[in-house]
């Protein structure tokens, strides 16, 4: 398992903080239930950060007729919407909710040539908010398949 580079500083800081807190508590208070409980809190946060920034190796399907999920999580919306950024017509929107336990990375769902990409700075609305798909920070990517689609 790899760790995404954006998480290195956060993970290092949280691990050092956990080590200093736990070391200090055990040094000054000795081993007791209270010391173990209080020491566990920053250790749990460090483990959470490691899990959050993990970057597992993914193996693409390799079939140009199949679309794989671009993200871990749960599909919460599948609906037809008016797409006004690139195609300017009706397209199928698939929204995936990523909880804090999911890998927070996105992959291309199909093989092909990236024809268009644009990062949209935006808000950080909760995922179930109706406008989160259009107002949250996101990236648009258009991929042209070998057959021209």
On the question of pLDDT at 62 being above 70, the answer is: no
Question: Beta 113-120 vs 138-144: how paired, if at all?
Answer: antiparallel
**pTM exceeding the 0.85 threshold for the entire prediction:** no
Q: What is the reported pLDDT for 15? A: 96
Q: What is the reported pLDDT for 61? A: 67
1-19 per-position pLDDT tens digit: 789 888 999 999 999 999 9
Q: For the residues 104-133, what does the mean pLDDT come to?
A: 86
Q: For the residues 84-102, what does the mean pLDDT come to?
A: 89
Q: What is the reported pLDDT for 21? A: 95
Instruction: Please tell me the distance from the alpha carbon of residue 142 to that of residue 104, in angstroms, as a whole number.
Output: 20
């Amino acid at each position: 398992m790899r760790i995404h580079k954006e998480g290195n500083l956060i993970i290092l800081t949280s691990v050092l903080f956990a080590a200093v807190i736990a070391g200090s508590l055990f040094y000054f208070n000795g081993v007791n239930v209270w010391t173990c409980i209080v020491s566990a809190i920053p250790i749990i946060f460090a483990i959470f950060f490691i899990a959050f920034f993990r970057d597992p190796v993914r193996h693409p399907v390799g079939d140009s007729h199949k679309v794989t999920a671009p993200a871990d999580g749960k599909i919460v919306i599948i609906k037809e919407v008016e797409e006004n950024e690139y195609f300017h017509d009706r397209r199928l929107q698939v929204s995936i909710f990523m909880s804090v336990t999911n890998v927070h990375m996105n992959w291309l769902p199909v093989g092909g040539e990236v024809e268009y990409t644009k990062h949209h700075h935006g808000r950080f609305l909760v995922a179930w908010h109706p406008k989160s798909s259009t107002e949250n920070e996101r990236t648009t990517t258009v991929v042209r398949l070998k057959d021209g689609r």
